[in-house]
Amino acid sequence: MSVAFAGNSTPGSSREAGPLRVMVVDDSVVIRGLIARWIGAEHDMEVAASLRTGLEAVNQIERINPDVAVLDIEMPELDGISALPRLLAKKRDLVIIMASTLTRRNAEISFKALSLGAADYIPKPESTREASAADIFHHDLIQKIRHLGARLRRKPAVASPPLAPASPASAARGPAVARPAAPAPAGHAPSSALSTRPFSTQAPKVLLIGSSTGGPQALMALVTELGPVIDRFPVLITQHMPPTFTTILAEHLARTSRKPAAEAVDGEPVKPGRIYLAPGGKHMRVVRSGADVAIALDDGPAVNFCKPAVDPLFTSAIDIWHGAILSVILTGMGSDGMRGGKDIVAAGGSVIAQDEATSVVWGMPGAAANAGICAAILPLNQIGARVNRLFAGDRS
């Protein structure tokens, strides 16, 4: 049994001051050692335990009492997806980040994990010997631990239910979102205190959506309400996700919305009635192709540490639709979408941001809200109705 403990803790202490306590659960000694070194180098987190199997994690969770668990999917004795509900049953407010290699099976399992209560997922590189892949994994993992752990400490000590993928039946009752309001992060004003600007006087001709951490659940809830818009206008989405994961997300969006949804293909025309999703590992832009509008994918460098990134989509759309753009920025870390949103507003378009209380991480929408570019800052379950009204001619 590979168990390493750091410090002592008692149940219920996860919100006390001090470093975030992280439990690393992975059957690879190399990955465990790598993650432990990265965490140990950060001033605001520490390795609470390093474990080889999900069964060890379940048996030791109450003694370790971590704030965050990085949980591998494929392990002996008890795999990650089986350990997940048992861990949450013993510690309801545990932040669980699923880690997996980039396979279709693992992508499907990661989506299932989100519906079971995992906070997020992270793809592990096929080989940590490739410097660029290891650097991205390092950066993304530390940021996810920090931001998701910080949100845990801001919340009241009441567990919130997971964001389950919406279905047509559940859509009638509204998106499955029940997250308590939380104080604003440092540098952010509360949503209610932020100023907004008027919506554009131009009728929108396209809907652009950007999202990251928490985005898959938010997107699946939102698209159930956008049928009238999707039927008449193109909808383009950039979700921060790796290859394979975006393939699965597109399939989920198609089933949930009951509308055509797929990863965008380079050169394909942009038409009403379809949802275009930026494929993992490629930036998605729109360009003129004769009298038509077409998708343009590129393999350029990451933007805002992301690929695909939201800003390239937002800024490229201005050359096509000018001010007739409605953009929505959903939950996510960082500030991607804010600069592109500024450009859209300067061109005469509008931006809606998801509010903090319903965001898993209020980074991207918070950056847009604090920049003063938003016409509305709304809970997730109000965004769809507002979007429908705007495309139907309501300018308020």
Instruction: Tell me the residue range of the domain where 119 lies.
Output: 20-154
Same domain, 373 and 275: yes
What is residue 128's predicted lDDT score, i.e. its pLDDT? 60
Contacts of 313 (CB under 8 A, 6+ apart): 208, 210, 236, 238, 278, 283, 284, 285, 286, 340
For residue 8, being part of any structural domain is answered with: no
Active site residue 240: yes
Considering the candidates 336, 343, 350, 359, report the single residue annotated as catalytic: 336
CATH number at residue 84: 3.40.50.2300
Q: What is the domain count for the chain?
A: 2
Report the pLDDT value the prediction gives residue 337, as an integer from 0 to 100. Answer: 98
pTM, full prediction = 0.85
Q: Would residue 185 count as lying in a domain? A: yes
Catalytic option among 200, 212, 327, 359: 212
Which of 304, 308, 305, 306 has the alpha carbon at shortest distance from 339? Answer: 304
- For residue 163, give the amino acid letter: L
Q: Give residue 318's pLDDT.
A: 98
Is-catalytic flag, 212? yes
pLDDT at 170: 36
Of the listed 100, 110, 120, 240, which one is catalytic?
A: 240
My answer on whether 65 and 119 are in the same domain is yes
CATH assignment at residue 290: 3.40.50.180
What pLDDT does 183 receive? 38
- CA geometry: angle at 248 spanning 244 and 252, to 5°? 165
Please indicate whether residue 322 is annotated as part of the active site.
no
Residues 237-277: tens digit of each pLDDT: 999 999 999 999 999 999 999 999 999 999 999 999 999 99
Question: Mean pLDDT for each 10-residue chunk of the chain (396 residues)?
Answer: 43 62 96 95 97 97 97 94 97 95 90 94 76 81 93 52 38 33 45 84 97 95 97 97 94 96 98 97 96 95 92 98 97 96 98 96 96 97 97 88
In a shared domain, residues 202 and 93:
no
